[in-house]
Amino acid sequence: MMRYPEHADPVITLTAGPVNAYPEVLRGLGRTVLYDYDPAFQLLYEKVVDKAQKAMRLSNKPVILHGEPVLGLEAAAASLISPDDVVLNLASGVYGKGFGYWAKRYSPHLLEIEVPYNEAIDPQAVADMLKAHPEITVVSVCHHDTPSGTINPIDAIGALVSAHGAYLIVDAVSSFGGMKTHPEDCKADIYVTGPNKCLGAPPGLTMMGVSERAWAKMKANPLAPRASMLSIVDWENAWSRDKPFPFTPSVSEINGLDVALDLYLNEGPEAVWARHALTAKAMRAGVTAMGLSVWAASDSIASPTTTAVRTPDGVDEKALRQAARARYGVVFSSGRGETLGKLTRIGHMGPTAQPIYAIAALTALGGAMNAAGRKLAIGKGIEAALAVIDADA
């Protein structure tokens, strides 16, 4: 008997995003929709950009683009990379690898460092590559390669890239807001994130940090999109209450982001990061104690915002997730591309980055394994997770 039918909402969504938004954000989405040229809206927009600047710890204004962060990533490639650029793409997972395809669309000169998708990029390899290829002008890296639940050392990489003089594009979509990472910490020239992961808002916007030299390069690039949905340069001054928008912004998403940024800043970034980290740590302890293994090659590169659990041999990963949803009402994410079928992902993002949800996740995961014929030490898993939580308490 299926308890939770597919057509009805599950009880708890513990995915790698979208996750449910904070209740305050959900209500914020329902604010009056103002005319985008109304001075009250233009002021709100400027304030939201100011809050984003504060959250991102930027010394200049971030850009908001009106599509989920894949828009930001595509726009970054289209705007910053020109045909004579030599791009070094760092690939430790499906998303990092994927950026290379976009990069190649705008420049034929693509170099790549690729590591197994449960490992992280070694800064030394980057240093070596930069040394070997002084012609590299752009480096791209994914901070948290979500389909693997692994973290790349972008601050160290950024320091090398900066010393080299190349531009750095960082995909921090699913890490920003859930751990300590900011555009200027890693000296990023374009840093792409969004409200729909650790900030606990719905998908629909990109938040982007752009360095002054990236602005200069894009504006000088005749091929950078303009009068286009893909344009970044069109939005350079749109933050200002006195400047028009290139096209109608997503008013309700801005309303939601406004609330999400307030929540983040008011709770305190350090406190937010701490509960992401603790939830993930408890999760990993439970996974291991239960008899499963974490996908990430080492604890030090395991993401605080998503735990990827390796699928035991012989288990049908899709059936596993279906069982977790059907029996317990708990939804997990699958892998993507190369990692599809090989792992199950449990997100710890925004409102779900609470240790008690690691308990729910472990139980649902363990129960689904049971249903698949893998008897696990679920009780031990829970106790190990609880020990982590209590050690912090």
Task: Between 94 and 230, name the residue whose CB sits nearer to its own copies.
Answer: 230
**Residue 292 exposed, middle or buried by CB count within 10 Å (0-12, 13-18, 19+):** buried
Nearer to its own copies, 19 or 120 (CB): 19
CB of 284 to its own copies, least distance (A): 17
Cα-Cα-Cα-Cα dihedral sign, residues 219, 224, 229, 230? negative
| 3-class state of residue 287 by DSSP | helix
Give the shortest CB-134-to-its own copies separation in angstroms: 31
One-character DSSP codes across 238-263:
TTSTTS--SS---HHHHHHHHHHHHH
Residue type, 52: A
Query: Is 68 annotated to bind ligand?
Result: yes
306 annotated as belonging to a binding site for a ligand: no
- The minimum distance between CB 297 and its own copies, in angstroms, equals 26
91 with 120: CB under 8 angstroms? no
**How buried is residue 6: exposed, middle or buried, by Cβ count under 10 Å (0-12/13-18/19+)?**
exposed
The residue (of 67 and 209) whose beta carbon lies closer to its own copies is 67
For residue 142, what are its two tokens? 């994914």
Q: Toward its own copies, which CB reaches closer, 95 or 117?
A: 95
**Closer residue to its own copies (CB): 214 or 385:** 385
Residue 35, judged by CB atoms within 10 A of its CB (0-12, 13-18, 19+), counts as exposed
The minimum distance between CB 185 and its own copies, in angstroms, equals: 26
Ligand-binding site membership of 37 (annotated): no
Is the CB of 177 or the CB of 256 nearer to its own copies? Answer: 256
**Min. distance of Cβ 315 from its own copies in angstroms?**
17
Rounded to a whole number of angstroms, the distance between the first and last alpha carbons of the chain is 40
Give me 27's structure tokens: 């209500």
CA-closest candidate to residue 234, choices 73, 64, 106:
64
The two most distant CA atoms of the chain are separated, in Å, by 63
In this structure, are residues 59 and 213 in contact, taking their beta carbons and an 8 Å threshold?
no
CB of 218 to its own copies, least distance (A): 17
What phi and psi values does residue 347 have, to the nearest 5 degrees? -85, 145
Other Cβ atoms less than 10 A from the Cβ of 127: the count is 17
Q: Which is nearer to its own copies, 229 or 315 (CB)?
A: 229
CB of 290 to its own copies, least distance (A): 10
- Do 51 and 265 contact (CB within 8 A), yes or no? yes
**Closer residue to its own copies (CB): 35 or 125:** 35
Helix, strand or coil, per DSSP, at residue 206: strand
Closest approach of its own copies to the CB of residue 328, in Å: 5
CB of 144 within 8 A of CB of 186? no
CA–CA separation, 39 and 125 (whole Å): 51
User: Which of residues 166 and 357 has its CB atom nearest to its own copies in the complex?
Assistant: 357
Instruction: Tell me how far apart the alpha carbons of residues 173 and 207 are, in angstroms, rounded to a whole number.
Output: 9
Q: How far is the CB of 161 from its own copies (least distance, A)?
A: 26
Q: Which residues are annotated as a binding site for pyridoxal 5'-phosphate?
A: 68, 95, 146, 345
Q: Which residues are annotated as a binding site?
A: 68, 95, 146, 345
